[in-house]
Structure 1
Amino acid sequence: MPVIVLVGCGLAAACLCLTGVAAGAYFYLRGRQATSAEPTIEYVLDASPRMESPSSSGEPRIVVARGVLGEIVRTADPRLTAGLRVFGTGALPQGCEDTDLVVPLAASNQGEIEGSLGEVEAAPESDSAVAQAMVGAIRDMASTDGPHSIVVVTGGADLCNPEAGELIRQEAQRAGIELRLFVIGFEVPLDEVEAVKAFVELIPGATYTDAPQAAALRTALVEIQTEVNRMAVEAFEPVPGGRTGANACDHPYLPLRSGASWSYDSSEGGMTWNVTSAGGSAESASATMAFSMPEVTFTVNWICSSAGITSYDFGSISSSVFGEVVTLDIVNSSGSWLPPAESLVPGYSWSNDYTMVVSSPFEGASVELTTTTSESWSVGGMETVSVPAGTFDALRIDGTSTIEMSGFMGISVPPSTTSQTFWFAEGVGIVRYTSSSEGYSGHGDLTGYSVP
């Protein structure tokens, strides 16, 4: 179980959008599995008077630490049991015992922690009882099954107990838990850095990272939270490899099974997605999906492997009035469109790139347009989403797509960037999506689905 002490201081599926006269498809998702384990994380914030000193950005260190920690808490896996402890706020009259569990340990309480962080203020008078706060965190976690971790971000050394390291080691041993302790020094004065390192070195399994400014603090916490989230995924993983489908395209969070269908109410009108065929093995498979909108249909051919839904290719776009109006051909691509579910934990990020040639008949000839797309995606946290099809526990994926077009009558079109957010539910797929770019805003909500 992880404890983060601040001292001192997704695609998993596919999302589809048309660009110009063509269409692109992107799906994002991530899986959540049932478990009886209890990975636990406790965030501990240093709010002693020293945190009122200005940071390198000019803001008080307490303000910077609260903001960065709030960002990280939002990316925590909601299956984690989490809590928030502070010290040095003046809550207790005895400065060297001044530590308080502000948000008790509970599952899926990241929102409460983030809200409480905004109310933490540094005390005008108190001591910096770093070790006592960590002892309190260990005792908080002693009744949980784990795995257990502590992350400490400190603005300086412990000013109360010269034997801080030994005190923490003994408490962990007495509690009978195996701790992973991460200590981050946020703009620690040079004359205190060695003191912090010294007590960390006495604690088995503890590591120290120096964060001389907010960017370094953020980087260190992102890496730690990502590792903790992976521990949660391992604890909740019911099946080795995380894949339960009959073939590689039957992804836990985008089940491309023959006969599966999804209907959406979108800003473009009603839309239906149907998997017309799917087959293969766990190592290599393919699936074909038909997309229907008012008066327009098009197809996507997916390629899947043990690495996830690795690629897709478009067929054509057809109109009920004009027949086939556009053919789409992916000429090169890199990356995976949908990494394996076990990789899609909060904080995970990746990029995808592909080049597509769009061909359309025009006065007896074929007009071609080449589009180059670069995508960047990151996995957010789990959220409860209510749509016409029901209420789902869904993973949020945020990303951007930058598209460049050239070739049409020798004209190059300036790049355009679209921001997108998708929510994916286990065993269902995309339940909601939003997208926006200059002069455009779109959305879609799931109205019905069938996954055989």
Structure 2
Amino acid sequence: MPVAEGACPNPFFPLEEGLKLTYRAGSSELTISTRGVTSTSEGLKGLLAVDLKGRSGETEAFCTSEGVRTGLGGLEGTLLSASGMKVEVVSAEGVAVPPAARMVPGSSWKNSLSVKLQPPEGSKMPAGMVLASTFDKEATVLGEEEVTVGAGTFKALKVKNLTTARASRAGAQGRSIESFIWFAPGVGIIKVATGNNTDLELLKVDRPVAVQKAPAKAKKSTKL
């Protein structure tokens, strides 16, 4: 599977200005768009905006030689930003996606996210209630597969995730969930599944059309 040689943009999580990915999430549509992408001394940075069921959220994303990381620890935390909950990040470690050179079968990486969540105004939850949770994830690249989703057929890398969610207190017992993510070069995430259930399926990829400059008109020669 050919991929870009440089660390940034990362082909498996492209920070590309104006890129918009539309997914089916259950009976709803979810969009993730990238904007405000600029170069830094380490690579690239930009904003990931999420829209789901009329709610929106955003987080910063950074691409460096170590991989892609976001202010909310990856896809799961980014989706929390559109949940309607007030999200406070206590700590975030590791990358969401490593450099392309490490996205090979057998490769693995870990990340961790600790957050405090407060219900929105008007919620049925008690006022002032704070939920403190920690998510520890270990991801392993299984191999390449050809995957068909609403947006088409892609050659993608299948990654197994083992995510343990627990309350952020000493001695709290965690619950582990196994899921799978498929990454297509140049697009990013095209599918997420837990067991036999498809959680996310890519429906459409929108990229801004490059503005082509009109050819310069030749100057008319003036005879003396």
Which string of whole-angstrom CA distances, capped at 9 and with x for unpartnered residues, describes residues 325-370 of structure 1? 4221222122222110011111101211121111235689533211
Which string of whole-angstrom CA distances, capped at 9 and with x for unpartnered residues, describes residues 250-296 of structure 1? 31121122211001122242111111322223614322111112233
Structure 2 counterpart of 1:266: 25
CA 405–382 in structure 1, closer or farther in 2 if over 3 Å, else same: same
Among candidates 159, 167, 188, match of residue 405 of structure 1: 167
* Matched letter for residue 399 of structure 1: N
Q: Aligned with 1:342: secondary structure?
A: helix
**Alignment pair present for 1:444 and 2:200:** yes
Higher fraction of helix: 1
Deviation at 1:379, TM superposition (A): 0.5
Aligned-pair Cα RMSD in Å = 2.8
Contact 1:347–1:380 (CA under 8 A) maintained in structure 2: yes
Deviation at 1:299, TM superposition (A): 1.8
Among candidates 353, 377, 380, match of residue 139 of structure 2: 377
Structure exhibiting the larger radius of gyration computed from Cα positions: 1
**Alignment pair present for 1:418 and 2:177:** yes
**TM-score, length-normalised on structure 1?**
0.40
Identity score, percent: 25
Deviation at 1:312, TM superposition (A): 2.5
**Alignment pair present for 1:393 and 2:172:** no
What 5-or-longer segments of structure 2 have no aligned partner? 209-224
**TM-score, length-normalised on structure 2?**
0.77
Map residues 41-440 of structure 1 onto 2, 5 A cutoff.
Answer: 239=5, 242-243=6-7, 248=8, 250-281=9-40, 283-313=42-72, 317=81, 325-361=84-120, 366-405=128-167, 414-436=173-195
Deviation at 1:375, TM superposition (A): 0.5
What 5-or-longer segments of structure 1 have no aligned partner? 1-31, 34-236, 320-324
* Matched letter for residue 203 of structure 2: T
Q: Aligned with 1:257: secondary structure?
A: coil
- Residue-pair matches, total: 199
CA 293–362 in structure 1, closer or farther in 2 if over 3 Å, else same: closer
Q: Aligned with 2:85: secondary structure?
A: strand
Higher fraction of strand: 2
* Matched letter for residue 435 of structure 1: T
**Structure 2 CA distance, aligned partners of 1:424 and 1:326?**
28
**Structure 2 CA distance, aligned partners of 1:447 and 1:441?**
16
**Structure 2 CA distance, aligned partners of 1:381 and 1:257?**
25
Q: Aligned with 2:101: secondary structure?
A: helix
